[in-house]
């Protein structure tokens, strides 16, 4: 998270806030994590004052949550005061829905007001760096990697649990210009075909040659090493009668 430091004022240090005498600057986002700076003139604002300062009216139509310094979510009712100095909160998320979905990220509870949550939001809320990834905790099964750009459905019932761990090594390759990724370095032709939706069984999988190397058909049982010093391997789908 960004840090905002207080100047020399009559107020005590308020942690993550930029305080200038009676002015407190916080960040407010609506239905996401696109935060905008909002200025408050009271260190003990009501929930509705925070919403009004963010130009979100009528205030009773919104849900307000503070993201505390430790990453926890705390709901702030419209008529409830929130101590900006003691809580150490610098960010607030507002939802225009009256629904609340509960989830956990590394056992820390998060409340979300939309039925879908993006991978980028999970990374932000979990403070996940680029060397790590987010996984859906599958009890009794294999944890599922949340892909870049994926939106996870939260409306299935129950509390979804996410964990973070080191990002697995993946091996990219292209088929007909579309990018695929494998967590295994070695794949057979059949396995690569199986990864392509609606693969035409009348076509061959052809490895595109580099430089003077010719294109060549990859048989179903042939094993291809996806690791390459010259960038991802590229394949194409070619009608059997048209190749060779």
Residue 89: how many CB atoms within 10 A of its CB? Answer: 24
Q: What is the pLDDT of residue 8?
A: 36
Domain stop point among 47, 75, 97: 97
Domain stop point among 42, 66, 97: 97
Same domain, 61 and 114: no
Q: Identify the domain containing residue 225 by its residue range.
A: 171-242
Q: What is the pLDDT of residue 240?
A: 87
Asked if residues 201 and 233 have their Cβ atoms less than 8 Å apart, the reply is: no
Same domain, 151 and 230: no
> Which segments of the chain have a pLDDT < 50?
1-16, 19
> How many whole angstroms separate alpha carbon 203 and alpha carbon 125?
45
Q: What is the pLDDT of residue 21?
A: 55
Question: Going edge to edge, which strands form the sheet with 233-239?
Answer: 178-182, 171-175, 233-239, 203-207, 216-218
Report the number of distinct structural domains present in the chain: 3
Same domain, 50 and 6: yes
Same domain, 128 and 108: yes
Radius of gyration of the chain (CA): 25
Same domain, 164 and 179: no
Q: Give the pLDDT confidence of 19-48 residue by residue, as tens digits.
A: 455 688 999 999 999 999 999 999 999 999
Same domain, 93 and 132: no
Q: What is the pLDDT of residue 23?
A: 82
Domain stop point among 56, 81, 97: 97
pTM: 0.66
Q: What is the pLDDT of residue 54?
A: 96
Q: What is the pLDDT of residue 242?
A: 66
Same domain, 127 and 91: no
Q: Give the number of residues written for the chain.
A: 244
> How many whole angstroms separate alpha carbon 5 and alpha carbon 15?
7
Asked if residues 18 and 6 have their Cβ atoms less than 8 Å apart, the reply is: yes
Same domain, 122 and 75: no
User: Looking at residue 70, which CATH number applies to its domain?
Assistant: 3.10.20.90
Q: What is the pLDDT of residue 128?
A: 93
Same domain, 115 and 135: yes
Same domain, 90 and 181: no
């Amino acid at each position: 998270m960004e840090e905002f430091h207080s100047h020399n004022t009559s107020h005590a240090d308020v942690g993550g806030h930029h305080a200038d005498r009676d002015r407190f600057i916080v960040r407010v986002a609506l239905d996401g994590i696109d935060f905008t700076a909002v200025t408050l003139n009271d260190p003990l604002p009501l929930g509705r004052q925070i919403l009004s300062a963010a130009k979100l009216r009528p205030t009773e139509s919104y849900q307000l949550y503070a993201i505390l310094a430790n990453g926890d979510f705390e709901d702030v009712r419209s008529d409830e005061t929130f101590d900006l100095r003691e809580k150490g909160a610098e960010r607030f998320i507002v939802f225009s829905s009256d629904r609340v979905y509960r989830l956990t990220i590394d056992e820390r509870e998060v409340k979300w007001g939309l039925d879908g949550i993006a991978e980028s939001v999970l990374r932000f809320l979990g403070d996940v760096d680029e060397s790590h990834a987010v996984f859906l905790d599958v009890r009794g099964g294999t944890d599922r990697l949340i892909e870049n750009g994926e939106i996870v459905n939260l409306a299935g019932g129950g509390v979804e649990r996410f964990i973070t761990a080191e990002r697995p090594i993946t091996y990219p390759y292209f088929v007909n210009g579309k990018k695929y990724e494998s967590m295994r370095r070695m794949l057979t032709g059949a396995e690569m075909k199986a990864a392509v939706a609606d693969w035409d069984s009348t076509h061959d999988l052809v490895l595109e040659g580099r430089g003077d190397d010719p294109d060549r058909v990859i048989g179903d049982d042939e094993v291809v090493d996806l690791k390459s010093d010259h960038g991802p391997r590229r394949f194409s789908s070619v009608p059997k009668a048209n190749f060779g």
